[in-house]
Amino acid sequence: MKIYHGNDLRKGRASEPGRPYLVTTVTLNRRPLFRDWRMGRLLVDSLRSTQVLHYADTLAWVVMPDHLHWLVTPVTESLDAIVRRVKSCSARAINQSKGTTGSLWQKGYHDHALRKEEDIRATARYIITNPLRAGIVEHIGNYPLWDTIYL
């Protein structure tokens, strides 16, 4: 029986431009790096750069203490390249901010390609309500690290 590791998750898979994907990626050793909302904002800056550079369209995201949920549609780059860019740029910015070096993210990520029959708005709402289900806040408006185009 083969044991799969995070870096094996993307082997042999391709993404489709224009198809929404739900991406989840986790910090190294599930370190709760984003309990500090300022570190979360550095990650958000990396997410937004993919939109500005026309690599992807972001539909929704939430930064949890030790992971990211991101509903994203690739435009001009592959999903793999987009996620690698976000992880690399955010790690560089966070390390610079903290005066540290080294990896911040586990290798690989999980993705789910949304099918035509899946409700994108419902998926976006599910993503942004993660802090409520986790018991971090009682009202989503009290959590600083989420956004969606479906408001």
The answer to the question of residue 9 being in a domain is: no
Give the list of residues 6+ apart from residue 42 with CB closer than 8 angstroms, or none. Answer: 90, 93, 94, 97
The answer to the question of residue 4 being in a domain is: no
The answer to the question of residue 7 being in a domain is: no
The pLDDT tens digits of the residues spanning 118-134 come to 899 999 999 999 999 99
- Helical ranges in the chain per DSSP H: 37-52, 79-98, 120-128, 130-133
Range of the domain at 28: 14-148
The answer to the question of residue 83 being in a domain is: yes
| CATH number (domain holding residue 63) | 3.30.70.1290
Domain count, the chain: 1
The pLDDT tens digits of the residues spanning 12-28 come to 567 889 999 999 999 99
- Other CB atoms within a 10 A radius of the CB of residue 49 amount to 15
The answer to the question of residue 8 being in a domain is: no
Residue 5's pLDDT band (boundaries 50, 70, 90)?
very low
- How many Å apart are CA 33 and CA 52, to the nearest integer? 25
